[in-house]
Structure 1
Amino acid sequence: MTKKLYSLMLTLLALSGLMSSCSKQDDIVFDHERQQFETRADRILLEFIAPFGTTADEEIYIIGAFNGDSTAIGQQSYLLTKAPNSDVKWGVYLDPNSFVGGKSLADGFRFYSATQGMEQTVKGEKAIHNDNPSVGTFTNVWGQRWESYYWQGGEAPEPAHDGFCVYVDDQTGWNALTLYMWGDVNNLNGGWPGMSVTGTWNHDGVSWKYFDMGAANSGLNENLIFNNGGNGVQLPDFNFTIDRNIYLRITADGVEEIGAEPKVKHDGFAVFVLDDTDWDVLTLYMWGDANNLNGDWPGMQVTGEQTINGQTYKYFDMGEANTGLNENLIFSNNGSSQLSDFNYTIDHDVYLHITTSGVEEIQP
């Protein structure tokens, strides 16, 4: 028997075995569909296959008629847990005994990301799941898109407010932030330590905490006292007439009015760098799916600088046309010194801290 004929026979045998295995009743299970959490006899286990662009530190909640819908946001029992051995899966255990109003999962549910908004369909409509598994079972739920996919410029629109609003860039490091007010009306919006944060809004690279003043309180002159939830630390009074939105930066030392940071328009996604190298000239060379991307060695110059949460970052705009490419980033002192490669897929903004010792991804 010739080698060619022998090889042909082996190939046919392999194909025959593959066809035989595919003809079995068992479905093919892909890695991202495999169960990641243990089934519990007293709980429903849902494993959420998150939409593209979900980050590992995402804060995701399940909401629906069964748990009061958006009122469940922030409740620990409805916060999903990231699967330790999967980049795409989050899990949650549900107790039907805690469901409200006689509702079940069949009445509709969806998922909410604290940074990327509500889950939506590929058509930009409200996503609704109606799976209704039994206690003691495991079910996969496929996510489609986050609301952020449809945000202009990738940024959430400004929330609707009750009256004027106090926006706060909180640099105190406190575990809790509350706002007490006295003046034309004492104990406005709550007795000491005052009102809690109404919500957050990520805008122009700043995570603003905000306090809605209430439409009925427009025109009042109040003294604002920011404190750490009444736990012994407070800042000096800041006087404010409630006739406009105001933007403040607070630190452990005091309160400063700063206004909204000017919006920076980027060309595609950006690499933000907190530069602690003391190099004379920071450059970025890239190789990977496209070598010499945005410039031959030593690479591209810094595009600009932007202040985010009180920190000044240098940034490199990747270019809209380069979205989706996988590149290895090499930072150097204009070619005379360089750091180890940092791998990055251009499908999100990335924040990096660099020193002469290396590169570390950080949260802004």
Structure 2
Amino acid sequence: MKKFKISYLWLLMLLPLMGACSKEDIVFDVELPRFELRPGYQLLEVIVPQRTMPTDKIYIVGEFNGGKDVAVGDPRWELEKAHDTDAKWGIYLNPEDFLEGKTLADGYTFYSVEQGEERSLDNQPVAHTESPALGQRTNVIVYRWADYFKEPENPGEIDHDGYAIYVVDNSGYEQLSLYAWGDAEVFGGWPGIQPTGETTIDGVKYKYFDTGEANEGLNINLIFNNNNNGSQLGDYNVTLDQDYYLELTADGVVPYDPSSNIPHDGYTLYVSDQSGWEELYLYMWGDVNDLNGAWPGMSPTGTQVINGVTYTYFDFGKDNCDKGLTEHLILNNGNGKQVDDVVVFALDRDVYVELTATSAKEIDPSDYSPGATEPEKPVSYNLYIENNTGWNEFHVYAYGDKEAFGGWPGATASSTKTIDGVEYLVFPVEGAGEVENLIFTDNAGIQYDALQITLDKDYYIRANPESAELINK
């Protein structure tokens, strides 16, 4: 198996998604046991955030041991780091030390002396309830410490010159430059500087611009441009007293939250909603009808920006994954409008679709812009004419809803085709239900009204010297 060098925390964020719906159990290195079992003790092996320092002091706190004010500083509640990795810490708990009547099931969390309380991915307090049996172990994941949300995570290995501006670049520019004006032209004259470098933090790729230590405290306006090739984004004002995380789109500059990687419950339907509907619901039927709710179905789980596009998403639920259920997905507005069978599948993958008021189609999120769909090709039909007129030339003119073959005297055949031994002149024509009156002419004084047709199918016509007739095919 090929191994990739990526952030182990990024892998941990994928665990609830991959593990919930995979047909084979996937075990990452950080999940492997690092501590020996002890009879009479409960063993918690704790996977900590990447920025946790090996010199940190980490404590478990909860109702069972009196909480943070009592537990912090007591060696009974202090975790120890695994000897062969900084990612795994462990603690042996003796239930005899617990306050009377309390267990781990009453809830507990972890506290870092250096970085504060444990936090969820959306910066909420955490309460674990995992409680292994005596002589057994369980893995527990700490996603964030409180300090993570005070300032963006430091990539660590890069020695920046002053504060840095990190950019998720969805501008579409082939080249990216940054000019600044205000207290000073800190990046020189127009069009400014190109990125200092690129880096990946927690799985997110950034281009970054170092602002220079000498420029600390200056107030400037940033102008991202395509390196003086005719395009630029609107001004974005900053004061150089911190690092900045920004996202560039074709329309402008917006702040970017580096902690916006959203955990999902099972696989997910992502909808680029171009329908114009005021409400959006997802109904599912098939092997299980009313899956995730009776009509009109479930409301959106949330919204998420991916590659500069805002998607409304619906989590299918990990309990519905990997059951082989064939489900039909219907997107609707709960008030009479719907698009049936957006996709029919076994809830075994993420799905991205673009929804309009009348249709939906799967899209590739890595190469997608809302509304940038190919225009529908016009519907084309053929007139097949068996020419028995004997004329030197044969033209077809049409009038009615439109001049389907152009102005007088119309068109000559684009080709010939032999069908069942009969040679036909072929006249292609675009149609969408228009009614047309055909005139056949030799363009030398002979003409007659032939037939009235509706452009919704191919026609086979026999042209005689003075009249025409349909041929049934």
Return the TM-score normalized by structure 1.
Answer: 0.46
Greater radius of gyration (CA): 2
Higher relative contact order (CA 8 A, sep 6+): 1
Return the TM-score normalized by structure 2.
Answer: 0.37
The structure richer in helix per residue is 1
